[in-house]
């Protein structure tokens, strides 16, 4: 499990923008609404205005239609594989509290591999740099490594470092209800550049949702601008109609604390006839009551992205990343005693007891 410091260091900027992404990924079918008016096609002849007044039911319907267009692009990402590289910079002035060890300037890096076929999924992460302290820099050769895999039959949670085999917990033979929450969490692994999964919670809580009357340029392209509000935050999303209605800029201003998060400098690329953002920056600021603050910027870049890859040939969902010698716990519980004969280990894709007998072989 990530420490509170590591979690704050790496995930807060991501989580803030993911709220905006998930807001955009809601389906229009979840809301009672009047018939949706058709928007003008995104070409040079299209008007730069929408014939609806802000706050009107027709305007809300237009906003929902735009979100549905975005959702249609996301729906094409059911089966995908990619590598994401993240470099993060943090400026912090925190004398005490959870950010105290990161006071000053720090830098960290992540490398994430993700694949899913819509049912099975795996995410693997390496993390190094100033992960826990601005005074201690962990080299890439000793990076923390963790992965979660749902192969359709068993769930694997693997934790290690690049120079040590680590340990793996295997959950198998449980009722289907046991796997569903974790299966969904792995399957809906997201990057701030785009979001799989149809996450509707924020849309259901939105107290207001509207599209602005005029488009605004992002990278010289007129984009639709959506404003939404919940009790937690205010959101603004810029959707590019020429690039699959992807989110090419976003802004989140939080209500519950003094902080904001933006997505900027997004670059899109057409991959197998689907427009996808492949690069961008997530910036976040937070100010505390005592005057302390944190400012961070995370640079995200996707590579090796493939839609509908041959998962069988690639062995996407085989636990082949577990190192020989890793200790193994099958269906672990907190009260589980350590076997006095020793802990089973992972060896060449199988689980062996200390005497070398096979205890478990992945299907």
Q: Say which residues have a Cβ less than 8 Å from residue 274's Cβ, sequence separation at least 6.
A: 73, 76, 77, 244, 307
Domain identity same for 277 and 348: no
Residue 92 counted as domain residue: yes
Domain identity same for 261 and 339: no
Tokens for 102, please give them.
Answer: 């990161």
Q: β-pairing, 327-330 with 164-172?
A: parallel
Residue 249 counted as domain residue: yes
Domain that holds residue 344: 327-360
Residue 322 counted as domain residue: no
Residue 287 counted as domain residue: yes
Cβ atoms within 10 Å, residue 279: 16
The three-state secondary structure class of 136 is strand
Residue 13 counted as domain residue: yes
Tokens for 60, please give them.
Answer: 């809300």
Residue 58: Cβ-neighbour burial (10 angstroms; 0-12, 13-18, 19+): middle
Domain identity same for 22 and 117: yes
Domain identity same for 344 and 211: no
Residue 66 counted as domain residue: yes
Domain identity same for 23 and 158: yes
Return per-residue pLDDT of the chain as tens, 363 residues.
233 333 233 333 333 333 333 333 333 333 322 233 334 433 333 434 443 445 566 788 888 888 888 888 888 888 999 999 999 999 989 877 777 787 889 999 999 999 999 899 999 999 999 988 888 999 999 999 999 999 999 999 999 999 999 999 999 988 878 888 888 888 777 677 765 433 344 556 778 889 999 999 999 999 999 998 888 889 899 999 999 999 999 999 988 788 899 999 999 999 999 999 999 999 999 988 888 889 999 999 999 999 999 999 999 999 999 999 999 998 875 444 445 457 899 999 999 988 888 989 998
Domain identity same for 271 and 341: no
- For the chain, the domain total comes to 2
Domain identity same for 331 and 310: no
CATH code assigned at 151: 2.50.20
Residue 319 counted as domain residue: no
| Distance from C-alpha of 361 to C-alpha of 351, rounded to nearest angstrom | 6
pTM across the whole model: 0.80
Domain identity same for 71 and 119: yes
């Amino acid at each position: 499990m990530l420490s509170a410091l590591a979690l704050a260091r790496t995930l807060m900027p991501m989580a803030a923008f993911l709220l905006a992404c998930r807001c955009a990924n809601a389906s229009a079918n979840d809301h009672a609404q009047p018939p949706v008016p058709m928007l003008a096609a995104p070409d040079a002849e299209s008007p730069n205005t929408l014939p609806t007044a802000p706050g009107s039911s027709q305007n809300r319907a237009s906003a929902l239609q735009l979100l549905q267009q975005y959702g249609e692009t996301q729906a094409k990402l059911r089966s995908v594989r990619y590598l994401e590289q993240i470099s993060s910079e943090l400026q912090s002035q925190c004398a005490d509290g959870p950010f105290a060890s990161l006071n000053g300037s720090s830098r960290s890096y992540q490398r994430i591999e993700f694949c899913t076929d819509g049912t099975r999924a795996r995410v693997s992460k390496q993390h190094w740099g100033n992960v826990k302290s601005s005074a201690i820099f962990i080299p890439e050769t000793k990076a923390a490594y963790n992965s979660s895999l749902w192969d359709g039959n068993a769930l694997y949670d693997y934790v290690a470092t690049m120079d040590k085999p680590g340990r793996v917990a295997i959950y198998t033979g449980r009722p289907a209800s046991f796997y569903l929450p974790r299966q969904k969490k792995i399957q809906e692994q997201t990057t701030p550049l785009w979001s799989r999964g149809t996450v509707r919670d924020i849309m259901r809580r939105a107290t207001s949702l509207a599209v602005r009357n005029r488009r605004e340029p992002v990278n010289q392209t007129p984009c639709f601008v959506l404003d939404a509000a919940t009790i937690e935050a205010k959101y603004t999303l810029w959707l590019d109609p020429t690039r699959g209605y992807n989110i090419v800029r976003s802004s989140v201003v939080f209500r519950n604390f003094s902080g904001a998060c933006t997505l900027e400098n997004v670059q899109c690329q057409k991959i197998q006839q689907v427009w996808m953002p492949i690069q961008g920056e997530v910036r976040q600021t937070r100010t505390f009551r005592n005057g302390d603050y944190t400012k961070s910027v995370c640079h995200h870049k996707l590579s090796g992205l493939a839609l509908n890859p041959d998962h069988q040939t690639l062995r996407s969902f085989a636990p082949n990343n577990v190192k020989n010698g890793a200790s193994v716990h099958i269906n672990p519980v907190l009260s589980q005693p350590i076997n006095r004969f020793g802990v089973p280990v992972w060896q060449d894709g199988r689980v062996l007891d200390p005497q070398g007998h096979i205890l478990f072989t992945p299907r």
